[in-house]
Structure 1
Amino acid sequence: MPDKNKRPATLQEKAGIPPPDTVSAQSAQQVRNYRRIQPSAEALISGIIRGDKTALSRAITLIESTNPDHFEKATTVINGCLPHANRSVRIGITGVPGVGKSTFIEAFGSQLTAIGRKVAVLAVDPSSTLSHGSILGDKTRMEELVKDERAYIRPSASGEALGGVARKTREAIILCEAAGFDIIVIETVGVGQSETAVHSMTDFFLLLKISGAGDELQGIKRGIMEMADAIVINKADGDNIKRAQLAKTEFNRALHLFPAKDSGWQPTVSTCSAVEKTGIGAVWETISEYLRLTKSNGFFEKRRAAQNQYWMMETIERQLKERFFNNSDISASLDDMKRAVQQGEISPFAAARLLLEQYFKA
């Protein structure tokens, strides 16, 4: 009898002609055997500092794990990498789905690696609320950058985290910095949720827009537009060039209505074509100009210090939540409380208070 509680698969393929085997059974077994070998925390730290991408990937997988047994080892890896971190420029890139974030990041990253920079891309994929799975297909959309020796692309699932980031993105940044990447790009899911989380872990916040998709100024409200340090109108090519230029003019006028930023920076608006690779260099020039200003007036270090404090509080909240739900006594009582709430025997607020009292008495 089928299990009614079993979650559906993230991807399903209809029956058809099976694809031919492309990997030998022996090679596949060798890969599986290698993955079963769990390196020590010290080995992972050493590999990361050497710039070993395999060690970096395995360490990020470790810190993303929700298994309580992995927490201590993950903490050791993060602490071992901390002295080698904080030496990068962190750039957050967001925009609605279809704006061309992946194409833009590939063109942008390739331009940076061409001038000698090392680029790590932390691409966050939205998770299904039904199957809880993610496609994680960003590497397939960055075909050239993924082959670049000076680049590293890590797709992660957003899971239940809000704000367009994965729950361990902040820690992944530390590991990438320790591995020698001096440009960290965080690509958010761009689903219209508050982007406060990614804004609180980056030095420069870039908003990608496209013209011809409705009212250009529809999103001009206090929120994501106000957080942006630069707006780049993508897909300014072909018949869309005039519309992109018009959108640039409108956004420039609107941005002057916002109050001045604490950084002393006036947000800029530019156009580009990620497909034709035009206007990409100007984006890096804008970011470089921003860095010169904020480092000279002290805002850069002040912002980094505020971010560290913010993520300390976020970590406390997250770990309290994880320990609450992983508590065996709470797990035993939680289902009964859920059932009582559903049947109207107790209010949700009273049930929550009783569970919290039980947890803190334990």
Structure 2
Amino acid sequence: MLCKRSSGSISSTSIPPVSRIPLLSLVALGASLSWVGCGGGDAPSDEPAGAAGAAAADAPPQFETTEVAEGVYQFRWIGHNALFAVTSEGVFAFDPISVEAAATYAEEIRRVAPGAELAAIVYSHNHADHATGAEVLREAFGTDVPIYAHANADAPLREAGNPDLPPPTTTFDETMTLAGGEIELHYLGRSHSDDIAVGFLPAHSLAFAVDFVARDRFGYQDLASFHFPDMFGAIEGLLEIPFETIVFGHGPPGDRAAIERQLTYYRDLNAAVRDAVEAGLSEDETAETVLMEDYSHWDRYDDWRELNVRGMHRKLSAAGDGEGDEEGEH
């Protein structure tokens, strides 16, 4: 099933072979991977040391490489996912994640595609918790490996001047094709940031979308980096791409229905909070009354439901004056 290897054992001789998991089985995998959180790692625990130790023993390994389609792999590092595809032109790797993750990422690419060249690195967006580590991949495969990203990612990365997060060598505005059309990049407008590139592999009906959608999980904390109402258009645009399976930046893979549920959730959240704002309820009162109970089974309900409500209240209250559009990570 899944190829799992902890950070305590990184020798290639100790790595079991990857087995291909049928796509429907991946979609059914959600419960076992629901621990994954936006921002990486496990949430702090209030359990006693003994209980925490027992939980740690049962926790998933630090990383996994899973074949989600023929020649296409999800690489999970703690709570972040990357995607790499073996194409006719070599390997295309989305999101190095971090310096530490990229070192293992390079090993995993070499292990499942021995002898293949790294054709390119693709940034889903410029946030450091997904894009850091490109230089590690380049050093492993060749310093002239190109980096692709949406045009809006270029300026902030150049301004940051982080050697571990170099700016792209090539950018695009709306769409871009790679490997002779085996990979497409799509820009759907502002969502979690203003530069998210969605990857699509037509031959596999598979998409890779980071941070603005996930499978049955609340938006990150108070939605500070989310652009509303643009988010609705971006998710609707994602549904226009003819994917059947989708890999996310966090959490288990999903399908088209998962994206439809995500869109419905944000619409419901927006409507409920808007009603509260129009009724004159304060942020505190709205947080106490807008419970989103239809989504109580979703991941992070207990952690982020109130924060989502508060964030939406601030955005709606500040509508028209530009507040609530701060950029962030995760």
Structure whose CA Rg is larger: 1
Name the one with the larger strand percent. Answer: 2
Q: Which TM bucket (shorter chain)?
A: under 0.3
